[in-house]
Structure 1
Amino acid sequence: MPVHLSAQPSFKDLFGPGSVGEKRTVAGMFICDGGATSAEICAGAGFDFLLMDGEHGSFWLESIQAQLRAIAAYHTLAVVRVPENSEVLIKQVLDAGAQTIMVPMVNDAAEAQEAVKAVRYPQPGNPAAGVRGVGSALARSARWGRIPDYLTRAHEFVSLIVQIESATALRHASAIAGVEGVDAVFLGPSDLAASMGLLGQQTHPTVVSAVKQVIADVKAQGKVVGVNAFDQAQARAYIEAGADFVNVGADVALLARGTEALAAAFIPQD
C-alpha cells in the first residue's frame, strides 16, 4: 500500500502561492539540545518551523531521526542544518527523512550549485543533475521503498536553504539566490559580523545594513529569504525590511535564560 511522506507542512506549504508566508512572516526557532522530548515540546508551542542545528548542536543521525519523528506529530515544518556543504552529510540527513535542508557557509554560486546537486539524484538522460547516493530502499526518506517513484520524484519533496554568512558571500548574494534549485537563503548575522571584523556585534549598524541589503538582493531574485535574530526588536526590524522568515530563539538559550531568571527570583545575587 502506498505511504504518504508526512502530514506535516512542507516548505512549499509555508512559502508557496496562498501560503502562510504570503500572509505574514514565518517564525521558528533552533533546536540545539538534540533530545526528542525537547523537540516535541517546542513543536507543540506553535512555531511555523523548527531548525535542528546539526552544525553547532552536539547530535547527529540517530538524534536527528528521533527529533524528526517527534516533530512529525505536529503542524510544524522540520528543517535540518547540516555541518557543512558535503554531499555525504547531506545524503545521510536526507536518508534519515529530512525534507528541508539548510547548508551553512555558502560563499558563491558555485558552492550553491554543489548543494543543489547534493540534494538531487542523478536522473535518466541527465546524470549531472545530481550526485545524491541511491539507498532509498534502505532509508526512512522513501519509507523503505514504500513511496512510489521516489527516486524520480524526490526533488518534489526536498527543499534547499543555503546560508549567506560571510563578507565574501555578501558580494555574491544575488548570484547565490539566482541558482536554480536554491529555494531560500538564510542570513547568519553572527558569523557575518565575525567575518567583517565585528565579532559578537551582530546588531552593529554595518552588519544590520548588510543584512538588509541581502534581503533586498534575494527578494529581487524572486527567492525566499530568512534571518537569524534572537533580539526581538532586531527581528521585527528585519521583518519590516522584507524578511520572509525569522529564527527568533533556541531551546538551549531559552532554558539558560529561564533558569537564570527563576534562580534570581529566589536566591540572593552577589
Structure 2
Amino acid sequence: MPLRVEDTFRDALAATHRPLVGMWVCSGSPLIAELCAGAGLDWLLIDAEHSPNDLESILAQLQAVNGYPVHTLVRPPVNETVLIKQYLDLGVQNLLIPMVNSADQAEAAVAATRYPPHGVRGVGSALARSARWNRIPDYLTRANETISLTVQIETSAAVAAVEEILAVEGVDGIFLGPSDLAASLGLLGQQEHPKVRAAVEHCLSAAKTAGKPAGVNAFNEGTARAYMAAGASFVLVGADVALLARGTEALADKFIPATPDGAAPASY
C-alpha cells in the first residue's frame, strides 16, 4: 500500500494558487461530515475543542469523508502529547493545535508528532490505522511525510511571539482565531474590532515573511475576503451547526410570527 503523501494539507497549500476555503464540522455526526465533504469545499475542520467529538466519533468521520476530494484537519481540545499520539494513530494526517502561545509550546506539539529520536510519539504502528496496521512499507521512517501540523495563534501572547512560533521547525503553518484573540485583547465578542483585525493582519504578514502559510476563521464574507486579500492562504467561512441553526431559524421565520426577543446572536 503506497504512502499517500499527497493527502497532507501542507502539500495542498503548496500546490494551490488561491486560498483554500473550508468549514467547521462540529456536530459529531459522520453523516453530516460526509454531507459536507461532498459540497465542493477545499477542506474541513473536525473539531474536538468545542464540539462533542471523541476518538470514536473522529474515527467514524474520517472514514465517512475518505474518498471525497477534500482535505480534513482535526483539532484536539488541547496541545497534549498523549492525545496527539492517539489522533495520529487513528489516521489523522492534518492537525490543528489550539492555544499555542510560545515557541516552546510549538516545539512540544512538533515533538508529539515525531518518533524518537526526533520526538516523543509512542510507537504503535502495528496496532494503528495510521500505518494501516503495518501494511504501509517503511511507515516508521517516513511517517513525518504523512503529517502536517498547523498551530493556532489566538491570544495576545501568541501574536507577540508569532515570529518565534513560525520559526519552529516542523510547524507547517499558523491559523488565526479572532474570537479568542478578541477576548485576549479585552474585546470579547468583537472579532471585527480594528485592533483584532490589525493583530490578524500582523500575523498574516509575519507568516508571509517566514515563507509559511497562514489561515484564519472568518464567518463574515467581507472579512474573509479582506483577509484573503491580505495574504491568508486558507480560511474557514462557516460551520455545519451554524448553517443548520441559521437555516432552521429562517425556516421558522417564514411561517411563525417573530417575537421581540427572537434575534439570533452573531455567528462565530
Q: Which interval holds the TM-score relative to the shorter structure?
A: over 0.9
CA offsets 1:11-45 (integer angstroms, 9 cap, x no match): 134112xx12xx21110011100110000000000
Q: 1:88-111, CA deviations, whole angstroms, 9 ceiling, x for partnerless residues?
A: 010011111100001000001111
1:115 to 109, 116, 140: 109
1:46-195 matches, cutoff 5 A: 46-122=40-116, 127=117, 129-195=118-184
**3-state DSSP class of the match of 1:215?**
helix
Q: Which residue number corresponds to residue 20 of structure 2? A: 26
1:230 counterpart residue number = 219
Q: Please tell me whether residue 245 in structure 1 is matched to residue 234 in structure 2.
A: yes
Contact in 1 for aligned 2:112/2:121 (Cα 8 Å):
yes
Partner of 2:197: helix, strand, or coil?
Answer: helix
Q: Does 1:209 align with 2:198?
A: yes
Paired with 1:171 and 1:206, the residues of 2 have a C-alpha distance of: 14
Match of 2:265 in 1: none
The answer as to whether partners of 2:217 and 2:237 remain within 8 angstroms in 1 is yes
Which contiguous aligned blocks of 4+ residues in structure 1 show a shift greater than 4 angstroms? 5-8
2-side partners of 1:25 and 1:47: how far apart? 11
Task: Pick from 29, 32, 37 the counterpart of residue 38 of structure 1.
Answer: 32
CA contact (8 A) 1:49 1:77 kept: yes
Distance in structure 1 (CA, Å) of the matches to 2:64 and 2:207: 33
2:246 aligns with 257
Q: Take 1:223 and 1:262, find their aligned partners in 2: how far apart are those partners?
A: 42
Q: Deviations over 1:131-185 (max 9, x none)?
A: 0011111010101110111111100000000000001011100110111100010
**How many residues are treated as equivalent by the alignment?**
259
Name the CA distance, whole Å, in 2 between partners of 1:8 and 1:14: 7
Checking the alignment, whether the CA contact within 8 Å between 2:96 and 2:151 is kept in structure 1 is yes
Give the deviation of 1:8 after TM superposition: 7.3
Cα pair 1:9 1:75 within 8 Å, conserved: no
TM-score by length of 1: 0.94
- Give the distance between the partners of 2:11 and 2:85, measured in 1 at CA: 23
Q: Indicate the SS of the match to 1:243.
A: coil
Match of 1:11 among 9, 12, 24: 9
Contact between 2:27 and 2:52, CA under 8 Å: does it hold in 1? yes
Return the alpha-carbon distance in structure 2 between the equivalents of residues 6 and 46 of structure 1.
Answer: 21
CA contact (8 A) 1:8 1:74 kept: no
Partner of 1:221: 210
| Matched residue type, 2:223 | Q
Once residues 89 and 200 of structure 1 are traced to their aligned partners in structure 2, the CA distance between those partners, rounded to angstroms, is 30
Matched residues in 1 for 2:48 and 2:100: separation?
16
- Gap regions ≥5 residues in structure 2: 260-268
Q: TM-score, normalised by structure 2?
A: 0.94
CA contact (8 A) 1:5 1:143 kept: no
Aligned sequence identity (%): 58
